[in-house]
Amino acid sequence: MASEKGLGDSVSLAMIQKINLAQKFIEFGDHWSPKVIGKVNSCAVKLVKIQGEFVWHHHEHEDEMFMVVKGEFTMKLRDGDISLKAGECIIIPAGVEHMPVAEKEVEVLLFEPDTTLNTGNITNEKTVEVLEHL
Stretch that binds Ni ion, among 1-9, 22-30, 37-45, 61-69 (CB under 5 A): 61-69
Stretch that binds Ni ion, among 46-54, 58-66, 69-77, 102-110 (CB under 5 A): 58-66
Provide long-range contacts, Cβ within 8 A and 24+ apart, for 83-90. Answer: 89/65, 90/65, 90/66
**Which residue's CB is nearer to Ni ion, number 25 or number 64?**
64
Q: Are 112 and 46 in contact (CB under 8 A)?
A: yes
Minimum CB separation of residue 119 from Ni ion in Å reads 7
**Which residue's CB is nearer to Ni ion, number 7 or number 130?**
130
**Contacts with Ni ion, residue ranges (CB under 5 A):** 64
